[in-house]
Structure 1
Amino acid sequence: MKWTKERRYRKMEDATKEELTKLKKIVNSSPWRQTFHIQPETGLLNDPNGFSYYNGEYHLFYQWFPLGPVHGLKYWYHTKSTNLVDWENVGIGIAPNDYFDSHGAYSGSAVNHNGKLYLLYTGNTRDEKWERHPYQCLAVMEQNRSITKLGPVISEVPKGYTDHFRDPKVWKEGDTFFAILGAQRTNETGCVVLYRSTNLLDWRFEGEVHTSLESFGYMWECPDYFELDSQGVLIFSPQGLMPEGDQYQNIYQSGYVIGEKLNVQQGNLKFSHGDFIELDRGFDFYAPQTMLDPSGRRILVGWMGLPEVEYPTDPYGWAHCLTLPRELSIRNGKLIQKPVKELELLRGEKTEVEALIKNECREFQGIRGETYELIAHFSRNSAEEFGMELRVGENEKTIIKYDSKIKKVIFDRSLSGEAVGEQYGTARKCSMESDDLTFRIFVDVSSVEIFINDGEEVFTGRIFPAKESKGIKFFANNGAVQLKAQKWEITS
């Protein structure tokens, strides 16, 4: 199907019931629909938005184009949960049907205030010359989950910045609200800027947050600032980075810097920080957003996908999903990402195995499947390399291994099934000094999320194997390794 500009900007309301029924049938025929991840009913999902806790429930919105697997006219779609595991589709949260969001309700965030949930988002517009003008817009959700738009609250782009000015992340500090936005300077370099407000309606431009990353990509998308363990953390997604060794291998990156807390109350926007570190070492991760839950946990969800990459689900009328929620902490100057404890609710039948793996590739009875959680601990290593093969079939396997010679973990999807993004490589690597490794892995129908050594490193990737590819193998080459593994079935 040819997605012309006119088709990309069709509204959900313009689609006929017959069209939607046909599209849903195509989507439901896909062999790669997920079991326990948030995914769109039809069309394309991208950035998580408005991640928050309000009125006794977690709320999570996402960017959505309902009529096909392309980046067309964006809506906010609304899901909710009481436990971060079982998500209920609520429906359209924000529709792009006003002058200030006529060409898309772009990304944004949420803040709880006076018993209501306020949504601050970018309204995208285009004029007759196709020139962009962004508005930062406010909407409010009541306890009955009805949402009312209040319109633009920031209508102009400050001098010195281009129309790439979007993705507000809002928070409250004392009696003051702050919002950080992704921006592009007129010299086409990326940065973030800060606004403040006392009432969410009237915003004052405070200026640019000064970092040491002055020429680091051409646009910083989806920024998120928060404080954790008495330190300031700035997450953002820079576009335009070139690969450097094992780093920056995807078309676009997501990462963070940690430093001294910003003194936003006093207007001191100098941010002293450490190096930029990628959040996820895998193939498919972008535009993450965090929230603070009632127990004080900082929880992150990301888009499990990337722009401008074709996926094997496209012919089936849908694309992408969201990652599992991850609890953040800081250890040795790095963000640690652990699957939230509530994910243990997914665990079904358990199988355990212990064995010495020596110069072999072994399968074990009961250790196989399509959707599962697997914890594999490797110790007493003398092998040149060791690891696992997942979703193994006659001609398919997804490889996760440790190379002891170069001290790196390697995630290889060159044989994972239908190809995706091969122009950006089929393997991802990260350095890891320890030979004593624990891999906690969540495998869904078309994805793998790998948490190494209690969240020290994370790899996320979409895979598209045949349904019958369900084998799991453990191997050690040129030596031996002690294996202890636990596997839990996950059902819908």
Structure 2
Amino acid sequence: MVQNKTMGKYELDYHITPPKGLLNDPNGLIQFNGVYHVFYQWNQNETNHTTKSWGHVTSKDLIQWTNQPVALEPNDWFDKDGCYSGSALSYENKLYLFYTGNVRNEKNERESYQCLAVSEDGINFEKKGPIIHQPIGYTAHIRDPKVWQTDNNDWWMILGAQKENLTGDTLIYHSTNLTDWVCKGSLMDQKDEFGYMWECPDLVHFENKSVFIFSPQGLTSKKDEFNNIYHSGYLTGEFTKFGKFKPDNHSFKELDRGFDFYAPQTFKDNNARVILFGWMGVMEPEVEAAIPTIQDGWVHNLTIPRELSYSDGLLIQQPVTELKRLRQASPRITIAKANESYRLPTVQNEILLNWEKTAGSFEFQIRKEVSVDYKEESRRIKVTRTNWLTGNRESRAVTLKKPLVQMQLFLESSTLELFINNGEEVFSLRYFTTTEVNTLDMNSCTLGKEPEVTFYTLKK
């Protein structure tokens, strides 16, 4: 949470939330002059998506966040209907923001402009206006520039796009000076049709592998996959010196198996860590309109910061090590037994479950609201919550590649982030309970395979 806010019953402590209004996509993630900067899409005055500025918070430790003045306001002809998502980079001691200017013309038709703003102090930004205009063969759904520099001092930009045939794509541009950009076509030469729009594209480069992260819209659900309104995931492969991404033989994989995760963005910090933030808020409009925090004048939050690594076709997500500083005093450690209840002293908790070998089947419940169920034979893990609009129980699930040996939960008053097998799978979700019960209830557990549970109280 950023400083100096009172947000009601569901206030969050260690997640980034808006001071008021609506937050969505993380933008412009960077460490600039030793300070972490997180920008985000922000409707400052209402809890809907009618207009967007760039909110801005800073931190020296990824824990304590301070509100800064709004970085970008939609007050120019090229962004008058919204300063949409984008990225940041540091060059020659200046901070560059690349973003999409959203415009509705006199016929209410959409126009999109890829824009630049520059700052010398990281706080006050001067808009430079559009640097890329509408490409041929695409609708006006062109947005979310992600920019980076390669070792040979070339600059690359990728943009989420929609072709005129209403299929999703990602465009790639090249520059030698950050202001003049040449379109090199699609990022991938060969691809199957995959939804009607690709938002928030990102390329992550590890030592021997590149990972293309994007958020396709319009996928059809199948069994345990693609059951939210929109999705975020990745392909692994190679980024060539010619500006093409060549996928390998691994299929598209969802980054997060929970209900509420979208529009992730990554950056490399000064320690060469790849760190990711996502938006915990994507949902059907009617569900969003019913979120209980709206009565307190705010809605949505970002995930905790996660460090990414690559292993055998998988992106591994783990909470950044700085979050250990949130732990208060000594942990409480116990062997969890079936039909036992464990009190949580606050609603801010980190909970670790470790098995001596592998987990047996179990089911436990957090605060009488969120259920986590694991079947040893199938290795399928299911997370269930109550839909706050309909009152119905709803689930998301995944089948693990390996037997379960470890789980890590970050819990707040209305958020849960669950990391499985040291980050091989993750579930992110909002939940809302009217009860004051703060317990973990172990409803069932295979005899002889009880987990060791460590409880930490978290506080900034």
Q: TM-score, normalised by structure 1?
A: 0.87
Alpha-carbon separation, structure 2, partners of 1:379 and 1:434: 15
Please give the residue correspondences for 1:325-364 in structure 2 after superposition, counting only pairs within 5 Å: 325-355=305-335, 357=337, 360-364=338-342
Deviation at 1:211, TM superposition (A): 5.5
Alpha-carbon separation, structure 1, partners of 2:349 and 2:446: 29
Whether the aligned pair in 1 keeps the contact of 2:345 and 2:457 (CA below 8 Å) is no
Partner residue in 2 for 1:288 = 264
Partner residue in 1 for 2:366 = 390
Deviation at 1:481, TM superposition (A): 2.4
The reply on whether 1:444 has 2:412 as its aligned counterpart is: yes
- Corresponding residue pairs, total: 452
The reply on whether 1:39 has 2:7 as its aligned counterpart is: no
User: What do you get for the CA RMSD once the two structures are aligned?
Assistant: 2.1
Please give the residue correspondences for 1:66-465 in structure 2 after superposition, counting only pairs within 5 Å: 66-143=44-121, 145-155=123-133, 157-173=134-150, 174-210=152-188, 212-260=190-238, 262-263=239-240, 265-268=241-244, 270-272=246-248, 274-307=250-283, 308=285, 309-310=287-288, 311-355=291-335, 357=337, 360-364=338-342, 367-379=344-356, 383=360, 385-392=361-368, 397-414=369-386, 419=388, 426-465=394-433
Whether the aligned pair in 2 keeps the contact of 1:379 and 1:435 (CA below 8 Å) is no
Whether the aligned pair in 1 keeps the contact of 2:196 and 2:217 (CA below 8 Å) is yes
Whether the aligned pair in 2 keeps the contact of 1:209 and 1:271 (CA below 8 Å) is no
SS of the aligned residue for 1:183 comes to strand
- Structure 2 stretches lacking a partner, 5+ long: none
Deviation at 1:331, TM superposition (A): 1.4
Deviation at 1:241, TM superposition (A): 0.4
Whether the aligned pair in 1 keeps the contact of 2:56 and 2:68 (CA below 8 Å) is yes
Deviation at 1:205, TM superposition (A): 0.7
State the 4+ residue runs in structure 1 displaced beyond 6 angstroms.
none
Alpha-carbon separation, structure 2, partners of 1:405 and 1:270: 36
For residues 162 and 451 of structure 1, do their structure 2 counterparts lie closer, same or farther at Cα, with a shift above 3 Å needed?
same
Alpha-carbon separation, structure 2, partners of 1:231 and 1:382: 32
Whether the aligned pair in 2 keeps the contact of 1:211 and 1:271 (CA below 8 Å) is no
Deviation at 1:220, TM superposition (A): 0.2
Q: Letter of the 1:306 partner, please give it.
A: V
Alpha-carbon separation, structure 1, partners of 2:455 and 2:244: 50
Whether the aligned pair in 2 keeps the contact of 1:183 and 1:192 (CA below 8 Å) is yes
Q: Letter of the 1:389 partner, please give it.
A: Q
Q: Letter of the 2:197 partner, please give it.
A: M
Identical amino acids, percent of aligned pairs: 40
Q: TM-score, normalised by structure 2?
A: 0.93
- Structure 1 stretches lacking a partner, 5+ long: 1-24
SS of the aligned residue for 2:16 comes to coil
Whether the aligned pair in 1 keeps the contact of 2:359 and 2:404 (CA below 8 Å) is no
Q: Letter of the 2:424 partner, please give it.
A: E
Alpha-carbon separation, structure 2, partners of 1:219 and 1:421: 29
Alpha-carbon separation, structure 2, partners of 1:198 and 1:191: 24
For residues 481 and 433 of structure 1, do their structure 2 counterparts lie closer, same or farther at Cα, with a shift above 3 Å needed?
farther
Whether the aligned pair in 1 keeps the contact of 2:334 and 2:454 (CA below 8 Å) is no
Alpha-carbon separation, structure 1, partners of 2:390 and 2:219: 17
Q: Deviations over 1:369-414 (max 9, x none)?
A: 311111111346685x31431123xxxx211121224321111113
Deviation at 1:91, TM superposition (A): 2.1
Partner residue in 2 for 1:6 = none
Alpha-carbon separation, structure 1, partners of 2:228 and 2:80: 31
Deviation at 1:444, TM superposition (A): 1.0
Deviation at 1:482, TM superposition (A): 2.0
Q: Deviations over 1:447-490 (max 9, x none)?
A: 00000111010000001123612111223256452221111111
Task: Name whichever of 449-458 and 170-179 sits farther off.
Answer: 170-179
Whether the aligned pair in 1 keeps the contact of 2:357 and 2:405 (CA below 8 Å) is no
Deviation at 1:31, TM superposition (A): 1.3
Deviation at 1:436, TM superposition (A): 4.0
Q: Deviations over 1:419-470 (max 9, x none)?
A: 15878x7111010254442111100111000001110100000011236121
SS of the aligned residue for 2:354 comes to strand
SS of the aligned residue for 1:164 comes to coil
Q: Letter of the 2:262 partner, please give it.
A: Y
